[in-house]
Chain A
Amino acid sequence: DTGVSQDPRHKITKRGQNVTFRCDPISEHNRLYWYRQTLGQGPEFLTYFQNEAQLEKSRLLSDRFSAERPKGSFSTLEIQRTEQGDSAMYLCASSLATGVNFYEQYFGPGTRLTVT
């Protein structure tokens, strides 16, 4: 499977704990995006990387959230001191940044986070 992969697919944690999610983009894609989706809503943008540089961050990304893409390949999203309001599906997407098709973003299967 050469699509976007995410790990874990499901995570249940207690309030106050830290969690980390991983995303592996489509291999030739140099842009990687994180979104969050809650029930009944569309995905909301969190942040994006071009190669290893984090170029855009949403105001939704509070100080408790941090994302990295250290070698321009996979990315991690960490949430510190989780709150119940963090419960959501965390989606990763990737795209090319050059060529005809550089606009299209392809999503991974998501990580569903439940904070109890």
Chain B
Amino acid sequence: QKEVEQNSGPLSVPEGAIASLNCTYSDRGSQSFFWYRQYSGKSPELIMFIYSNGDKEDGRFTAQLNKASQYVSLLIRDSQPSDSATYLCAVKRTTGFQKLVFGTGTRLLVSP
């Protein structure tokens, strides 16, 4: 079992729709969760982070965390073609380990 799992996609949504991206993780001690957006050929860009159970909203983005189910998701409202990218879920494990463990990413395609 991989430490961080994501559906590779592509996830196709029409412009203006809500895109829902999901991620599961295996280490119950994980404490911090991050979503990065990566355009083709570019480096990852941090777009959201969440540390506590529940929802966290920032503009069109909402991150959701359920530690009991070991599940984190990213919702993108009013999706735009410019949102088309690969979305990487990353997890920081317990205190003392600073590395991020990444999933393989979900490719999102937003069609006009």
Enumerate chain A interface residues (CB-CB to B < 8 A).
31, 33, 35, 40-45, 48, 55-56, 58, 89, 91, 103-110
Pick the contact of A41: B36, B101, B104 (CB < 8 A): B104
Closest Cβ of chain A to B62, distance in Å, is 18
CA of A44 to CA of B100, assembled, Å: 8
CA of A58 to CA of B99, assembled, Å: 9
**A33 near B98: Cβ-Cβ < 8 Å:** yes
**B105 near A42: Cβ-Cβ < 8 Å:** yes
- Chain A positions within 8 Å of B102 at CB level: 42-44
Which B61-112 residues sit within 8 Å CB-CB of chain A?
Answer: 88, 90, 92, 97-105
Closest Cβ of chain B to A114, distance in Å, is 13
Enumerate 27 A-B pairs (CB-CB under 8 Å) in ascending A order.
Answer: A40-B8, A41-B104, A42-B4, A42-B88, A42-B102, A42-B103, A42-B104, A43-B102, A45-B101, A55-B98, A56-B97, A56-B98, A56-B99, A58-B99, A89-B43, A91-B43, A103-B32, A103-B49, A103-B92, A104-B46, A104-B49, A105-B34, A105-B46, A107-B45, A107-B46, A110-B42, A110-B43
**B51 near A103: Cβ-Cβ < 8 Å:** yes
Tell me whether B44 is interfacial, beta carbon within 8 Å.
yes
CA of A40 to CA of B103, assembled, Å: 10
Using A40-B104, A56-B97 as known contacts, list a sample of 9 further A-B pairs with CB atoms less than 8 Å apart, ordered by residue number in A: A33-B100, A42-B90, A43-B44, A44-B102, A56-B98, A91-B43, A103-B92, A105-B34, A110-B43
- Give the interface SS of chain B, mostly helix, strand, loop or mixed: strand
Enumerate chain B interface residues (CB-CB to A < 8 A).
4, 8, 32, 34, 36, 42-46, 49, 51, 88, 90, 92, 97-105
Closest Cβ of chain B to A67, distance in Å, is 14
Look across to chain A and name the residue whose beta carbon is closest to the beta carbon of B101.
A45
Look across to chain B and name the residue whose beta carbon is closest to the beta carbon of A57.
B99
